[in-house]
Each structure stands twice: as structure tokens, then as C-alpha cells.
Amino acid sequence: MAAIKSTRNSVKYRYTLLIVFLVIFIDQAVKYYVKTHFYYGEEVNVLGTWFKLHFIENEGMAYGLRLSQAETGKLILTLFRLVAVVFGFYFLKKMCNKGYGKGALICGSLILAGAFGNLIDSLFYGLIFTESSFHLAQLVPFGQGYGKLFHGKVVDMLYFPIVDAVLPKWIPFKGGQHFIFFEPIFNIADAAISIGVLTFLFFQRRLLQLPSRNLQSETQL
């Protein structure tokens, strides 16, 4: 019985890893295409004017947030991502062994994939790409890029300015000002993290509840 359970958990873990690496592949493929085909700041409409590809890079966290303006802050953030990814693989394996359901494992896989996707940018993009500015970036031999290890910039491109208008003057404090919703520019890795975290938050009771048979066996132990 224990062998069957172990095999089932191993299959679960392989499926979660498949999700992780599939998301990473899509994330990196889009980033590579945008990085090598868009000038910095270039923008193209995908669906009307409310979904655009707008190429920018950032040295901070998801959605362009920063830990610090200094290089030290960038290094700390990259090291934090690295530790989080290593721990993420361990924690995902543990979730499989404990018998968590598909929903929890998918959410965990999305969060891990997002963290890993942005970690790749931070670790290696400075070593393998030329700078993006008034010319298209190029893939170069390892170590000949625009930066150094742990100091790569994260590529962002997904932009959803669903509402782009001037606020009525009668609105307190912000009246008459230009307003955009949703303004942050992000990438697929950021989206994966957000979907995983928000789903956990809204459905945590259901997702984090172990199957009754596992709870009974743990109680007997």
C-alpha cells in the first residue's frame, strides 16, 4: 500500500514539474522574442487599445516594484529569488507527499514557475544579452552581455490599459488628472505568481485541506 502511495505521489510531482517547466518555457520564449524584436519602449496593440505589448525592463520585483535603487538591493532580491525557488521545489515535493489536491498543487506550481522565470532573467540576462535601447538586443556568447551574474534586468511586456481617461474635475484630489487602469506592465511569470497567490488566498480552506483519509491516518499515528 505504501509503495502504491509513493508511486502515486511521484506521478503527482512529475505532473507539477511539467506545469512548472511549461510555464517557464512560455515565459522565456515570450521574453526572448520581445527582447530581440522590440526596441526599448516600443509598443504594439494586440487587442484594440486595451491589451498591448510594451517592452520595458526592471531591476526589481513583480510589476516593476523595487527593493532598492542600489546594486546591493538587486543582489539581495536575486539571492532571495534563488532561495525561494530552491525551497519551492522542496515544498512542492512535500505537498505531493502529503496528498494535497490538484488545485493546491497547480497553484504551488504556478508560484514556483513565476519565481523561477524571473530568477532566470536576474541571473543570466545580463550575461547573454546586449543592452536594449535604440537598437535591438542580441544574444551574445556567455559573459559578453550588458551586465554581470545576479544583476540581469527582468523583461516585462504585458500591458492592459483597460481604462485610459481624464478623471472628472469633481473627484476630490485626483479630479482633472490623467488616469490609467491597469497601469503596471508585467510578464507571464508575474501573472503566474499572482494567479497562484490570489487563488490560494480566496480558496485556501478548500485548497489546503487534506483528504479525509489522510487526516484520519495522521490522527491514528
Q: Are 34 and 26 in contact (CB under 8 A)?
A: no
Q: Which amino acid is at 161?
A: P
Q: Of 27, 121, 156, 164, which is the active-site residue? A: 156
- Dihedral (C-alpha) 86, 92, 93, 97: value to the nearest 10 degrees? 150
DSSP letter for each residue of 72-98: HHHHHHHHHHHHHHHHHHHHHHHHHHH
Q: Are 145 and 128 in contact (CB under 8 A)?
A: yes
Regarding beta strands 43-47 and 154-159, do their DSSP bridges make them parallel or antiparallel, or are they unpaired?
unpaired
Q: Please indicate whether residue 27 is annotated as part of the active site.
A: no
Q: Of 27, 121, 164, 190, which is the active-site residue? A: 190
Q: Please indicate whether residue 190 is annotated as part of the active site.
A: yes
Known catalytic residues?
A: 156, 190
